[in-house]
Structure 1
Amino acid sequence: MVRPLDDSTGNEETRSVSKRILIVDDDPVQRRLLKAAAEKAGYEVELANEGRSALARLVEPDHELAAVVLDLMMPEMGGLEVLERLSAVGSTIPVVVQTGQGGIETVVKAMRAGAFDFVVKPVSPERLTLALGNALKAARITSSQIPSPRHVGFNGIVAASPAMERVISLGKRAAASTIPVVLEGESGVGKEMIAHAIQSESIRRNKPFVTVNCGAIPENLVESILFGHEKGAFTGATERHAGKFTEADGGTLFLDEVGELPLEIQVKLLRAVQMGEIETVGSRMPRKVDIRLISATNKDLIEEVKAGRFREDLYYRLNVFPIHVPALRKRKEDIPQLVRHFTERFAGAIGGKRIRSIAPDAMALLTAHDWPGNIRELENAIHRAIVLCDGETLTADLFPQIAAQIPGYKLDGLEAGDETQAVSLQAPQGPGLAQREEAAHADPTADPVLAEPSFPVDTGMPAVNAVTPEGEVRRLAEVEEELIRFALSFYRGQMSEVARRLGIGRSTLYRKLKDYAINPDDPDQEAA
């Protein structure tokens, strides 16, 4: 779910964001090249040679990293797994992925997993600088957001569908009691926001709200993090740690992905729920705690119980008041409202940024997508589009990672020699993202997207007429000339795309342009 807008957006000049980035690549030569290019552009650089150490650095609470350059193909833990784990813990750090193999499918997977941008090896310093600059804009937006949603009630939840109205109704009933609640639903549907709303409309609204992502905690540390430990309780315990239950005493404890808890920890959790007391590691006496417990899971806990991975007695203790939060694809009525909400929020976070509208084709594209990453994926897509948008309208070409999965849209293939080394969306709405980013790099004030297409997407009749007014078949040369003019206008003079779509080589295309006296900059002119 989402939070209401904050009217005070601030001034971009008064905000600061770290220029420290993390470069993750198992190739030492690539690391050196990327480090040199980034430092020349003014960035502070940290290096990691594999995914596990990079992930450990990125989940640190105060890492002060503004962006990541992440290689997708690495041994043991690859870039895709790092992205998925960052998404699971709710990380908002923008990630620029780089790939030298795997093709467009790998890139699309990375974008779906939450990547902000991508580059192809060997990346030019100019392309890397452009990608990092956009990533820092994204980091600046994130740092300017409302710091805490914990006082936002159900009125702050953006929803229009009957399914979400039922969720809100159940949530309000749950808020009126201290009954244990389980929020069920896929990752990214907004379970934590529902938990915050329940807390904010309950009698514990001014008490602590403590979140624990059970799936992100190393198994050997789960007990200590949940229940705390005494000084000297184990090797490395140099000081006493209170634990999340103690931190939440008097308030609400939100256990996200509770189905990931190890079985031995589930026993202690059951005692805490039943008896209202916890056993701190290394302590001889149990401690009483007063908490409101809200759990969340993206798993079917009944199936987990049948498989022996979740205790049946704990299931019945937690699942007193279940609330199922439906996936975004099952409540598409919410998508337009969420799109407008995120657009206003992210645009307002950049001083002087004015996004006045969303193009109908862009809204249709976003509504057609099934959003496997749910609201989190939608939020990230809008976030990225706002950073890259130079005009006043969000257009479909700003969502290449979404368009790649919708029939009727196409992404250009990736070639290492491509100057822009970026995804290029080829659709009637206008120039692709690659051309847009290239133009923006050359002229930041340029806005090549806002021009209307020369031909409608669907005219309801053939674009080129093969029959004369007298009912005779037209000469082949006449039809060919008209088709070339149409293709030039339709693809806005992008010669490679025109040649590819017509099934001819570029040299053949240029020869035919000369034969038919067609000016590629003005294909609609009369033949000489």
Structure 2
Amino acid sequence: MAARILIVDDDPIQRRLLEEAVKRFGHEAVTADGGEAGLATLAAARGDFQLMILDLVMPDLDGMAVLERLAKAGETLPVIVQTSRGSIDTVVGAMRAGAFDFIVKPVNHERLAVSIQNALKISALEGEIRRARRPAQSGLGFRDIITKSPEMARVLRLGERAATSGIPILIEGESGVGKELVARAIQGASDRRTKPFVTVNCGAIPENLVQSTLFGHEKGAFTGAVDRHTGKFQEAHTGTLFLDEVGELPLDVQVQLLRAIQEGEIEPVGARRSQKVDFRLISATNRRLLDMVKEGRFREDLYYRLNVYPIFVPPLRDRREDIPLLVEHFVSRFAAEEGKRRITGIRPDAVAMLSAFNWPGNIRQLENAVFRAVILCDGGELTVDEFPQIAAQTGHVSAIRRVEGNDAPPPAEPVIIESTLPPVATEDGLIGVAVSSGAGNDPAPFGFLRSLADDGHVRALVAIEEEMIRLAIDHYGGRMAEVARRLGIGRSTLYRKLKEYGLADGDDDDAGVAAE
């Protein structure tokens, strides 16, 4: 699994050797020429590094002083120290100061690779343990939200500002984007961080029980009310109430919610008097409440009470740079939870495929896809074969091999496999009829065009246009008039493009016209 590693060493030759070694191991390397420079780079990155390789002997600020500063700052970044002095006292001192491992110069690359792999693996497991424990203690924080996209950075800035007050917040965004996580981070950064955080999914409550669930009821208030029931507002007293999918609330309950927000008091079903409650309200919705107001399905006065401080969480397809980070996080988490410690990462081509997918279900869908892949994986890394549904929808070559029942590599020469049969769905949900290898590229299912090149980047429009023309000519048996008509271009334009792409000789135009 690729990581970002900070190398701190005053020796330029040693820095260069370590940088090349780290890159050869498949990681990203950033260098600093001393202790002060290393700490400044680490502070500017704001948690963007997963590991530090630190020289102990440096003129300005030595390695032991750097370790002490990291410990005082509460930094949990694993550190591998290196020095030419390999005495026992030096080793013990470095380990007591917080170093993860110790390597003696000249560095053995195999030893360094093992140390890096172990440090990243242990760090990932410890991170999952911290995240699992933190909600039960003091709540999540904004630093726990995994992102590096500018869009999410704006969301976090808005959340941090709102956390310092009791202003009502409305979090908008598609289902699965992490609205509740943002709400928990706001709670964790507020003065109510040690108080209850009560979540209510308004769309999951039966309509006849909404009022009782939110506001509670007294014993005997209605048939079946054999005991007094405490509502969610009362549970959230002194804490935070998170109303998820608030647009699903019935109109009559919206009136009572408005009163609770305005007056800070509720009236349980069957109660003789109202009760005061102190709560911080955060609402969330995957619908446009303003449209619902126009349609008469949501109260306008309540909308303006909830929409005091709006925060929009963008969908995952608009922040694709977060996908590799989220995948890495989910792989570490599920590998630890499922006892598959041999799984250390995911192949780069699989990450590229996942990054190209649109993820209509957003982070929740990505999480479930990685969970399934971890369960299916029998090796040390996740590959594209563990994501069959995603491969099918992105037109990845692995989907074709599954359809054809052949895991062998594609043939060296271009080949076209045609069929007059209708598409057939396999057990994996993959569909295919015919396969065209294209010119020197991996094959794609018939009717699909490859959107990504072998290096993981999107293909140029010129290459896609050329492939589309080739496919149309093959599909319509060289009948140029039909090809032009189906492509929606003139025949002269078609012949011009054939010449541009080297698909026709100088006399092919006349021959094509005569043949038709």
Instruction: Give the TM-score normalised by the residue count of structure 1.
Output: 0.52
Any gaps of 5 or more consecutive residues in structure 2?
1-127, 418-430, 437-516
Matched, 1:306 2:294: yes
Partner of 1:348: 336
CA contact (8 A) 2:215 2:231 kept: yes
Contact 2:384-2:398 at 8 Å conserved across structures: no
* Superposition map of 1:172-183 within 5 A: 172-183=160-171
Alignment correspondent of 1:78: none
Which structure has the highest helix share of the two? 2
Deviations 1:253-279 (A, max 9, x none): 000000000000000000000000001
Q: Which amino acid aligns with 2:291?
A: E
Q: Which amino acid aligns with 1:279?
A: E
- 8 A contact 1:212–1:256 mirrored in 2: yes
Of 132, 141, 146, 2:132 maps to: 146
Q: Say whether 1:380 aligns with 2:329.
A: no
1:44-63 equivalences under 5 Å are none
Shift of the 427–200 alpha-carbon distance from structure 1 to 2, 3 Å rule, reads: farther
Q: Distance in 2 between matches of 1:154 and 1:346?
A: 22
Q: CA deviation at 1:215?
A: 0.4
Whether 2:381 is the aligned partner of 1:393: answer yes
Other-structure match for 1:322: 310
Note closer, same or farther for the CA distance 1:425–1:167 as it changes in structure 2 (3 Å cut).
farther
1:37-436 equivalences in 2 (<5 Å) = 146=132, 149=135, 151-408=139-396, 425-426=402-403, 431=407
Unpaired runs of 5+ in structure 1?
1-141, 413-423, 432-452, 457-462, 466-478, 484-496, 503-528
Q: 1:202 & 1:302 partners in 2: Cα distance?
A: 28
CA shift, 1:358, in A, is 1.2
1:320-343: CA deviations, max 9, x gaps? 100000000011010011011111
**Structure 1 residue 425: deviation in Å?**
3.7
Q: Given that residues 230 and 241 in structure 1 are in contact (C-alpha distance below 8 angstroms), is that contact kept between their aligned partners in structure 2?
A: yes
Q: Is the 8 A contact 1:229 1:282 kept in 2?
A: yes
Secondary structure at the residue paired with 2:230? coil
Deviation sequence 1:59-92 (CA, Å, 0-9, x none): xxxxxxxxxxxxxxxxxxxxxxxxxxxxxxxxxx
In the TM superposition, residue 144 of structure 1 has moved relative to its aligned partner by 13
- Give the partner amino acid of 1:181: I
Q: 1:282 to 1:197 in 2, by over 3 A?
A: same
* Residue 109 of structure 2: aligned partner: none
* CA distance, structure 2, for counterparts of residue 163 and residue 147 of structure 1: 28
Distance 1:425 1:278 in 2: 59
Name 1:464's counterpart in structure 2. Answer: 413
Q: Could you say which residue in structure 2 is the equivalent of 1:132? A: none
Deviations, residues 178-203 of structure 1 (Å, cap 9, x unaligned): 10000000000000000000001100
Deviation at 1:402, TM superposition (A): 1.4
- 1:4-19 matches, within 5 Å, as none
Deviation string 1:396-447 (CA, Å, 9 cap, x unpaired) is 11111212221345758xxxxxxxxxxx84599x84xxxxxxxxxxxxxxxx
Contact 2:344 2:381 in 1 (8 A): yes
Could you say which residue in structure 1 is the equivalent of 2:103? none
Q: Distance in 2 between matches of 1:351 and 1:144?
A: 18
In structure 2, relative to structure 1, the CA distance for the partners of 1:167 and 1:143 (3 Å cut) is: closer
Mapped partners of 2:293, 2:286: distance in 1: 14
CA distance in 2, matches of 1:167, 1:243: 31
For residue 366 of structure 2, give the secondary structure of its aligned residue in structure 1. helix
Deviations along 1:277-320, whole A, 9 cap, x unmatched?
00100001000000000000000011011010110000111111
Specify the code of the residue in structure 2 equivalent to 1:183. Answer: I
Alpha-carbon separation, structure 2, partners of 1:250 and 1:376: 30
Structure 1 counterpart of 2:135, which letter? P
Aligned AA (1:275):
E
Q: CA deviation at 1:383?
A: 0.6
CA 1:172 to 1:500, structure 2 compared with 1: closer, same or farther past 3 Å? Answer: closer
- 1:364 Cα deviation after fit: 1.2
> Which has the larger Rg?
2
Number of aligned positions between the proteins: 295
Do 2:331 and 2:345's aligned partners in 1 also have CA atoms closer than 8 Å?
Answer: no
Q: Distance in 2 between matches of 1:203 and 1:499?
A: 60
How far is the alpha carbon of 1:233 from its aligned partner? Answer: 0.2
Contact map agreement 1:228 1:242 (CA 8 A) in 2: yes
